[in-house]
Amino acid sequence: MAEIDQELFELLDGNDLGKKQHEAMMLVTMTEEGWPHPAMLSVGEILAVNRTNLRLSLWPATTSVQNIRRTGQATLVAVYKGKAHYVRLSLQELPPLSFSKHPRERFAATVNWVKTDIAKYASLTSGIQIALHDPDSVIHRWQETLSELRE
């Protein structure tokens, strides 16, 4: 069974969000027309339950949600600590939570395949980086969202 490495697991474990607030990654799904559809994810929208199982919390009515419902697949692309991580996921929709504070579509993801890429001739110095406009509020929302993903 495929699994993410320890460094990526630690990025996605839901802990220390304040220290990870600048990290973002891409979730790539496939459109009906066969085109890759990239979407940005923050560390507050994905949770590594363990190294083989993740959970995603996505905004409702997005193209990504529609694509996942249709195909049950996505690829996570993350650049972290000098490595590019490509993670193929099989996804299943989780039931809605009646007590959810932030309406989201939730998915359980199984890691099917992983490629970790390190260039021999160059160093990856950063991935996608973000700057939150209101870090306290956003990190609080992320903590609530990840808490709901643990349910």
Domain borders along the chain are 6-149
Topology, domain 6-149: Pnp Oxidase; Chain A (2.30.110)
User: What letters, b where the CB count within 10 A reaches 16 and e where it falls short, cover 60-89?
Assistant: eeeebbebbeeeebbbbbbbbeebebebbb
Digit-coded pLDDT (tens) for 76-92: 999 999 999 999 999 99
| Angle CA 8–85–52, to nearest 5 | 55
pTM of the model: 0.94
- CA atoms lying within 13 Å on the CB side of residue 119: 8
Contacts of 140 (CB under 8 A, 6+ apart): none
Digit-coded pLDDT (tens) for 99-129: 888 889 999 999 999 999 998 898 888 899 9
Look-up of token digits 């990239």: 38
Rounded to whole angstroms, how far apart are CA atoms 1 and 3?
Answer: 7
Rounded to whole angstroms, how far apart are CA atoms 10 and 64?
Answer: 25
Pairing of strands 128-129, 23-30: antiparallel
Rounded to whole angstroms, how far apart are CA atoms 106 and 112?
Answer: 19
The whole-number pLDDT of residue 106 equals: 96
